[in-house]
Chains A and B, each alone.
Chain A
Amino acid sequence: MGFQKHDDFDDLAGHFVAEAGRSDAGHVMWLNRNITKNKSDRKTLAKLLAGFFDLGGYSLESWVKRRFIEKFYGKSPHPFVLALQHPSRATLLGYVVEHQHFLRQWVRSCSYIMARTDEMDVVLYELDNINTEYGGVGTGQPSHYELLLSMGESLGLDRKEVFRMAPLADTREAIRVWDSICRDDHWVEAMAAMHGLELIANRKLKGEGASIGYFDPVILKNEEISEEAKAFLREGYEADVGHSEQALSLVEKYSRLYGNMDDVQATFLRSIDYFDRYLMARLERSRQFESS
C-alpha cells in the first residue's frame, strides 16, 4: 500500500475500495486485519484509514511501536514468537537457515541507506549497526551473523550446509521487497522499514503493551538451550532496544524535515507484512528438522 497523494485518505480509500471490488487478496487481507472486515463505502473507509494513520498526538515512534505490537505481540502473538518462548532444536535451526539470508540482505539494506543519505548521524548509526549485525569486532565481539552460525553448529548444523540451503519462497519474496524499498524508496522510509523490524527483540515492548517478549528470558539462565544459542539470543536482547529506538528517533527527525511521514508509515506497514511472512518461513523451515 502507499499514498499517491500525501495525506489524502479519500484517494487512498478509493484505491482500496477499487482493489477490494476486484477481490485483490493483498488489499482485502490488509483491510480485514488492520481496519475492518465490513465492506464500507469510500467516505467511511477514508475516516477509518485516517484514524489508523493518526499519531493521536504522540510521536511517530509510539505509532510504529503500537502497530508492531498489535501485529506480533497482541492478543494472537505471532506463531514463531510463541515457538521461541521455549524453543526446540528444530525451531532454532529453522531460525538459523532462514535468518542467514535475512542478515545478508540486512547489510545490503543498511548500505543502501548510507549511500543515499548525506546525514552524518544516519551514516554513523548504520555503520555501528552493520558492525554489530555483520562485521563484529575481532574474535572478542562476534557479529550477530557469526553468533547465528555458531548457534547452528552447536545444534549439529555445519555452516557449509547452512550456506548451501536456498531461502524458502516467503523469505525470498520478503528479501526482494526490502531490497526494492531500500534501493528505490526514500532512505527515511527504508530506515523505518528495516530498523522498525528490530522491535521484534526489543524487550521494552513488554512494558508498552506487548503480551509476551520475544522469548522467555529464563532460557538464558537454565539449560534448555546451548550456550551458543544463549549467546545469539542475548546479543539481540541487548542490542535491539538501542538499535530500534535510535533508528526510530532518526526516522522521526528526518520524516518531519522531509515531510514524508505518511510514506514512512505506509512503507513500514508494508515491511512488517513481509516480516510476518518471513517469520512464518522460519517455522516452515523448522519442520524439516523436526524428525532429524
Chain B
Amino acid sequence: MKVAEKGCAICQATWGDYWEEIEGQRMFFCCDICAIEFKNMVNEVKKRTGWKTLDEIKMTGNYRGRECMALYGGRRYNFSIRFDSKGGIDAFSEHA
C-alpha cells in the first residue's frame, strides 16, 4: 500500500516514532491515535467497497475532516471522514 513518502501516514507530521504493521506493511505514525485512525479508515473502506485490500488512499484536509480517494486495481472510491478524540470514526460519507 502506498503511503506518504515522508511523515505520518495520516497527518504527515514527522514528530514521534510509532510503527505499526497494517495490510502487511510496516508504517510510520506520529502517535498511536493516528495509527488507530488509519486502521479504522482502511477497514471502513474495505467493508463498504468489498475490496480485499487498498493500493492507496489520497487525502487532503486536516483533523477537522479529510477528503479522501481510495484506489484499488484501477478503481476509485471517494469519501470524507472525520475522527473522534480516540481515533474512532466520527463521521463518514461517500461521494460520487
Interface residues of A, Cβ cutoff 8 Å to B: 20-25, 28-29, 31-33, 37-39, 76-79, 170, 277, 280, 283-284
Main secondary structure of the interface of B (DSSP, over half): loop
Interface digits, B2-14 against A, CB 8 Å rule (1 contact, 0 not)? 0000010001111
Q: Is the interface of A mostly helix, strand, loop or mixed?
A: helix
Stretch in B15-23, B41-49, B69-77 with 4+ CB within 8 Å of A: B15-23
Given contacts A23-B31, A25-B31, contact A283 B18 (CB under 8 A): no
Tally B residues with Cβ within 8 Å of A: 25
Which one of A28, A77, A277, A283 contacts B30 once the chains associate, using CB atoms below 8 Å? A28
Q: Which residues of chain B have C-beta atoms less than 8 A from A22's C-beta?
A: 17
The 7 listed contacts between A and B (C-beta, < 8 Å) are A20-B16, A23-B18, A23-B32, A25-B32, A25-B34, A28-B30, A170-B85
Footprint of A on B, CB under 8 Å?
A: 7, 11-18, 29-34, 61-65, 82, 84-85, 90-91
**Which chain A residue shows the least CB distance to B29?**
A23
Interface-centre pick from B7, B62, B85 (highest chain A CB count, 10 A): B85
- The 5 residue pairs across chains A and B that have the minimum distance between CB atoms: A25-B31, A23-B16, A76-B64, A37-B13, A23-B18
- Report chain A residues within 8 Å CB of B13: 28, 31-32, 37-39
If A28-B30, A31-B13, A37-B13 are given as contacts, then 9 extra A-B residue pairs at C-beta distance below 8 Å, sorted by A number, are A23-B15, A23-B18, A25-B31, A28-B13, A37-B7, A38-B14, A78-B64, A170-B84, A170-B85
One of B11, B17, B18, B90 near A32 (C-beta < 8 A): B11
- Least CB distance from A1 to B in Å reads 14
